[in-house]
Structure 1
C-alpha cells in the first residue's frame, strides 16, 4: 500500500475539490508508508485550503491539511527542523511550514512514528492528478419484479398481504 501511485490523487478527486473551492496550488499528497489516500475524503478546508485522509488496511487514519498563511502554533508546539511538532490531547501533529502556506499531518499519538510523520509532511508535494481513476458508480440493478409503471408489486399472501 505504500506505492507512490497509491498516494497520487485521481483527476476526478482533484476536480471535485476544486469545485468545492480548494485552491489548486494547495492540493498536495504525501508518501506515508502503509497508508493510501481515501479519495472520498478529498475536499476543501476553510476558505480555499485542501484536506484529505490517508488510511491503512487496518483502519488507522492520518489527516492531511494544507492551508494558506502562517502556521499559528499551539503553546505546546516544539520546533523540529523546518516545522513544528505538537501533542494535543490524544493527537499528534507535525506541521511543515512553506513560504505562503503550511502542511499539517495529524493522527492519534503513537500511531505513526514522529520521524515518519515529519518526513512525510516535509516531503509533501503538489498533487498531479495522475492517480488511478476514481471507481465508477455501481450500475443499477435490474430487479425484474417491478411492473413497467413503477409501482411495487402487491403481495396478497403471507404476513401483511
Structure 2
C-alpha cells in the first residue's frame, strides 16, 4: 500500500511541474492578462532553453512594468527569466547580489563577453544582456542549468510579439472592487444582505 501512495505522489508532482506549461518556443503568452498586471508588452521576451518548458502560470510582473517567467524541466529544475528597463555595467555587475543566491551576501563573480555578463554567486548563476534600455536576465541554480545554455538562450532572446503594437497599450486602470467602503478604515464590507 505504501508503494501505491509513493506512485500517486510522484504522479501528482509530475503534473504540477508540467500542467499549465507551454513549449518555450511557442507563443503561449496572454498579452491581455499581462497588460492588466501592468507589464509593458515590449518587455515580454521568450527564450529557447532545450529540456525546459515555459511555465505559463508563472508569468507575471516584475517591478513597475517588467516581465518575469519560470522555465521548468521534467526533473524539477527551474530557470528564471526577468526582463525590465535599466542599465548595466561592470560596476553594477559586481555590486548587485544575484536573486535567490545562497548565501545572499556571496561574492559576485562577473565575466563580460560579446553577449553580456555572466554572473555567479554562491549556488546560483545568470547571464545578463542589455538591449538598449531593456535588461534581460536568465538565471538558475548552478546544478540546474549550465553556463553555455544560459548564454545561448539569452543571446537568442526575442520579443513575444512583433506586431508593432507593443507601445500602444492602454494605461493600467485599477479594478473597481465594489466591496470597499468609502469611509472608515477601508476594510471590505462583509455585511449579510437580505435572505442570507
Instruction: Compute the TM-score of the two structures, normalised by the length of structure 1.
Output: 0.71
1:67 alignment partner, one of 84, 88, 103: 84
Contact 1:17 1:44 in 2 (8 A): yes
1:25 to 42, 51, 75: 42
Kept in 1, the 8 Å contact 2:38–2:61? The answer is yes
**Dislocated runs of 4+, deviation >4 Å:** none
Q: Which residue of 2 aligns with 1:120?
A: 153
Contact 2:29–2:160 (CA<8 Å) still a contact in 1?
A: no
Query: How many correspondences in the alignment?
Result: 125
Q: CA RMSD in A?
A: 1.9
> Is 68-77 or 116-125 further displaced after alignment?
68-77
Residue number in structure 2 paired with 1:139 = none
C-alpha contact 1:9 1:37 (8 A) present in aligned 2: no
Which residue of 1 is the match for residue 119 of structure 2?
A: 86
TM-score normalised to the size of structure 2?
A: 0.59
- Alignment correspondent of 1:135: none
Distance across 1 between alignment mates of 2:45 and 2:79: 14
| Highest RCO, 1 vs 2 (Cα 8 Å, sep ≥ 6) | 1
2:142 maps to 109
Aligned residue for 1:45? 62
Structure with greater helix share of residues: 2
2:23 partner SS: helix
Do 1:9 and 1:39's aligned partners in 2 also have CA atoms closer than 8 Å? no
1:36 aligned to 26, 47, 53, which one?
A: 53
Give deviations 1:85-111, integer Å, cap 9, x for gaps: 111221101011111111100100132
How much has 1:11 moved relative to structure 2?
4.3
Segments of 5+ residues of structure 2 without an aligned counterpart are: 1-17, 96-108, 163-196
